[in-house]
Amino acid sequence: MDLAIVGLPFSGKTTVFKALMAGHGSASAAGRGEAIGSVKIPDERLQSLGVLVAAKKITPIEVVLHDLPALFERGAAPSGSAAEALGRADALIHVVREFERDDVPHPTGTIDADRDIGAFDAEMLLHDLGIIDRRLDKLDTTARTAKTAEGEAAQRESEMLKRAKTHLDAETPLRDVITDEGDIKALANFGLLTLKPMLILVNISESAVAERDAIEAEFRERRAKARTSVTALCARLEAELAELSPEEAKEFRDDMNAGEGATDHVLEAIREMLGLVTFFTAGDKDTRAWTIPNGATVLQAAGRIHTDIERGFIRAEVIAWDKLLELGSHNEARKAGQLRQEGRTYIVQEGDVINVLFNV
């Protein structure tokens, strides 16, 4: 999963990046003004399964974070490595400033998170309108001059883009109105920022940490939609706590009512927003966690593991992770009749342990 961290200058994007990275992964410089990091998401269920089967390797879910520079400085569209990172991103983390610091003044002189959200949304809308207008100009020429089949394809694409343009002209992000999976897939190749799912991350001050849940709930009531979620945290505090031992960090959190750690809190919010479920494969060579969209079939899960496994799918052996731990092994689960045989239409459930039988 790739996530792009975006926002206005002085919103705390890089501090959020450091808070999410600390203690969980490694970071390096990428393009100009961009940092990239890989975060392995701890999962106690995965660790327990790995111990159960004496796995030589345990592979958790990995998330790639891109800390991007300010995207719309001097009216310029994102370019270079930033544009590439945005194109790959499965979702955006929009960092919004809600903290006061005398040594880091806000560019406008005042703190107003709703104003800043609106300003950044407007920039993304203009960015997407520019892409669509340029493409429509090319399609207009193609539709008039190309052969019949190519011209008809250009006409269909043009109609789809015009529908998207109507929403953008009405100042409506595409993520709020484009819900058909076919349309989302067709539009995804254009790099439209307002189409991507977005987590609004409200970056609060240390003095407001005890009210984090209330602040998050307030913004969620106003801003959350089907493919827009909201969370809140104090990035500066989280970055500092990540440098402490787990015991020391827990003591500070308890004293400040700071709740769970930043990485778990933010990535769980993104997982829920994207509608993902986690399933496991438990083998002695490699025990691994995977994500797949909620409602996906076991055949799609097989393809997530490897396309050959999907192509040669016969059936799947499925058991809930906690039931497998309780019974002690796949063999014992099979003897107890708890290792279910499922066909390709089975809907994968959160925490399923899946062994796919296939032939290619």
Domain ranges of the chain: 2-273, 295-358
**pLDDT score of 124 more than 70:** yes
Distance between CA atoms of 194 and 172, rounded to whole angstroms?
Answer: 9
Q: What pLDDT does residue 20 have?
A: 86
Over residues 2-46, the pLDDT tens digits come to 999 999 989 999 999 988 887 555 555 555 667 888 888 889 999
Beta bridge partners of 293: 276
The residue count of the chain comes to 360
Tell me which amino acid residue 174 is.
Answer: L
Tell me which amino acid residue 63 is.
Answer: V
Distance between CA atoms of 167 and 174, rounded to whole angstroms?
Answer: 7
Of the listed ranges 58-72, 122-136, 239-253, the least confidently predicted one is: 239-253
Q: What pLDDT does residue 23 have?
A: 54
Distance between CA atoms of 340 and 355, rounded to whole angstroms?
Answer: 10
Q: What is the largest CA-CA distance in the chain?
A: 71
- For 295-358, CATH number? 3.10.20.30
Which of these, 138, 140, 96, lies nearest to 118 by C-alpha position?
96
Q: What pLDDT does residue 259 have?
A: 67
Degrees to nearest 5, angle at CA 44 with 43 and 49? 105
Evaluate the CA torsion angle 88, 91, 97, 101 in order and state its sign: negative
Q: What is the mean pLDDT of the chain?
A: 88
Say if residues 300 and 118 touch (Cβ distance below 8 Å).
Answer: no
pLDDT band of residue 304 (cuts 50, 70, 90) is very high
Q: What pLDDT does residue 209 have?
A: 86
Say if residues 64 and 38 touch (Cβ distance below 8 Å).
Answer: yes
Of the listed ranges 13-27, 157-171, 282-296, 301-315, the least confidently predicted one is: 13-27
Beta bridge partners of 228: 198, 225
**pTM of the entire structure?**
0.86
**pLDDT score of 184 more than 80:** yes
Q: What pLDDT does residue 307 have?
A: 94
Over residues 53-65, the pLDDT tens digits come to 999 999 999 889 9
Q: What pLDDT does residue 271 have?
A: 86
Locate tokens 């270079």: which residue? 80
Q: Which CATH architecture fits 2-273?
A: 3-Layer(aba) Sandwich (3.40)
**pLDDT score of 142 more than 80:** no
Q: What pLDDT does residue 70 have?
A: 79
Tell me which amino acid residue 112 is.
Answer: D
Q: What pLDDT does residue 31 have?
A: 53
Evaluate the CA torsion angle 356, 332, 61, 187 in order and state its sign: positive
* Residues of the chain above pLDDT 90, percent: 56
